[in-house]
Structure 1
Amino acid sequence: MKLLRKRNCFEFIFFKNSIFVFFESLIPLFSVLPVNKKSAFLFDLLFNFLN
C-alpha cells in the first residue's frame, strides 16, 4: 500500500489501482476505479476544500 495524501483526518491509500479514502479509524469511506493523476488531483481538491 502507498500513502498518497494525508489531509487532517483523511488518508488516501493507493492499493491495486484503487484509491481508498480512510477516516481516522481507517474505515474505508469510498474507493474510485481506475486511478490516474486526474482523479487523484480531484481528490486532492475535494479534501482541501473540506478541510
Structure 2
Amino acid sequence: MHPETYNLQTIALMDQQDNYRTIHLMNMKYNLEIEDNFFEFTVTNDMEVIEAGN
C-alpha cells in the first residue's frame, strides 16, 4: 500500500499447496468514465446458468 495515497501496489497470494504469487499493480487509473455496455454479459448456448439458492 502506498503510504500517502493508500492505493494498493502489490497483492500477495498463497494457495493450499503453499505456492506464492505476487502481483504488482502498475499504471493504475482511477475514476474512469466507462460506458454501461462495458459490463454486458451474454450467456452463450454452451453455458449453464445456476440461480442462487437452487
Q: Same fold, TM exceeding 0.5? A: no
The higher radius of gyration belongs to: 2
| Structure with greater strand percent | 1
Q: TM-score, normalised by structure 2?
A: 0.27
| Structure with greater helix percent | 1
Q: TM-score, normalised by structure 1?
A: 0.28
Higher relative contact order (CA 8 A, sep 6+): 1
